[in-house]
Amino acid sequence: MDLVIRNATLADGRTGIDIAIEGGRIAAVEARIGVAAAREIDAGGDLVTPPFVDAHFHMDATLSYGLPRVNASGTLLEGISLWSELKPELTQQALVERAMQYCDWAVARGLLAIRTHVDVCDDRLLAVEALLDVRRRVAPWIDLQLVAFPQDGLLRSPRAFDNLKRAIAMGVDVVGGIPHFERTMDEGAESVRLLCEFAAEQGLRVDMHCDENDDPLSRHIETLAYHAHRLGLQGRVAGSHLTSMHSMDNYYVSKLLPLIREAGVAAIANPLINITLQGRHDSYPKRRGMTRVPELIAAGVDVAFGHDCVMDPWYGMGSGDMLEVAHMGLHVAQMTSQRDMHQCFLAVTETPAKILGLEGYGIALGCNADLVVLDAGSPAEAIRLRAARRYVIRRGEVVAESPPAHARLALAGRPSAVNFRLGR
Ligand code: FE2
């Protein structure tokens, strides 16, 4: 064997598990594997998980915070106009450099698969070219999936649909959209129809920014579910954000949830961004704005948490830590039961892996040997501590290591200084 990880706890609760790796794949998962290996890692009872997966990100905008200025109102709409100011100034080299820097952060955090939207409302398609280059460069470490995203509106921006088709022809993976940003509700619905039909023709997945507002009558998710069902796209469509569902009438939602489920449409909430961008027009009480995560899960819908933004025109925080994302999601959705906390962990691991259609993901015989050893004993503890990634393993190779979080106390009146593992 190339590598054996000893004494792991798995997210499903199994303990004392050894994981053997050969040729970049998992060769055995069982208690006390009695084979020798070129390298052994003692997990010491800590949690070993498949890597974190971010189902929703904007890698073309990341790490551009403050360029050309900071978002003063903190709103989504000012962020979009700020991005439009920045777009003509972008260079491919700067885009690639920022994205590569973010990918380094991601690897260190055990984030080894990312679905990123890439703006196609720039006739030069500079960002598309840059992120296709980045996808190729980071392929040994990160599965990067690109979504052709018409940021300024498919119908509202004159050449957006042509640009989106060009981007797909260049190798972009997924069809994006932004129906709530079109000029009217009708044009929003029309954009959903056009994009779903195009995706069905091309055999592609769909992931739309959908109803990212506080308007209870923003119901493009209904149209998205309708076309996903009509075109047989079940299991291939995701609605990102869906924040208007937070404000919708409960009776309407009771009809909507089964429609989403029936259409096999997944939901992607972005807790850090939803809690900061939504409710900006409210005084008090102020809405949280995140979509109805526990209700969607209870209805049988796959729900992932995405990071969405890190240091960009919309958000000046973040560092590529999906445990921080899960932590915020857990709080905003009040998912505090043991079962719900576990669901929040799945929302940044297994569920987005399913939404992205990742192959070979998981800890089972034959899966890719992509693993993270966390400084935590359980998924809930990993979220509570935003636990250090002791080892990040890609195809059987250790690609990042971080020390466990330790502190040394020197308190007057206490007999001796103590070293201890923070929070454990
Ligand atoms: Fe987004």
Q: Please state the domain extents for the chain.
A: 3-50+362-407, 52-356
Q: What is the mean pLDDT of the chain?
A: 96
pLDDT tens-digit map of 281-314: 999 999 999 999 999 999 999 999 999 999 999 9
Backbone angles phi, psi at 171, to 5 degrees: 125, 5
Q: How many whole angstroms from 308 Cα to the centroid of ligand 1?
A: 5
> What pLDDT is stored for residue 421 in this prediction?
81
With CA atoms as reference, report the closest residue to 47 among 9, 6, 15.
9
Match domain 3-50+362-407 to its CATH number in 3.30.390.30, 3.30.1490.20, 1.20.120.640, 2.30.40.10. Answer: 2.30.40.10
pLDDT tens-digit map of 236-275: 999 999 999 999 999 999 999 999 999 999 999 999 999 9
Q: How many whole angstroms from 224 Cα to the centroid of ligand 1?
A: 17
> What pLDDT is stored for residue 74 in this prediction?
85
Question: What are the strands, taking DSSP E only, across 324-383?
Answer: 371-374
Rounded Cα–Cα distance for residues 239 and 275 (Å): 18
Length of the chain: 424
Q: How many whole angstroms from 285 Cα to the centroid of ligand 1?
A: 25
Residues with CB under 5 A from ligand 1 (ion): 308
CATH topology of domain 52-356: TIM Barrel (3.20.20)
Rounded Cα–Cα distance for residues 304 and 66 (Å): 29
Q: Is the pLDDT of residue 16 over 80?
A: yes
Contact 392, 320 (CB under 8 A): no
Instruction: Enumerate the active-site residues.
Output: 212
Contacts by residues 231-234 (CB-CB < 8 Å, ≥ 24 positions apart): 231/196, 231/197, 231/200, 232/200, 233/196, 233/199, 233/200, 233/206, 233/263, 233/264, 234/263, 234/264, 234/265
Q: Which pLDDT band, with edges at 50, 70 and 90, does 6 fall under? A: very high
> What pLDDT is stored for residue 286 in this prediction?
96
Q: How many whole angstroms from 296 Cα to the centroid of ligand 1?
A: 19
For residue 37, CA distances in Å to 2, 22, 373 come to 5, 9, 18
Backbone angles phi, psi at 197, to 5 degrees: -65, -40
Q: How many whole angstroms from 351 Cα to the centroid of ligand 1?
A: 18
Rounded Cα–Cα distance for residues 311 and 353 (Å): 24
Radius of gyration of the chain (CA): 22
Q: How many whole angstroms from 420 Cα to the centroid of ligand 1?
A: 39
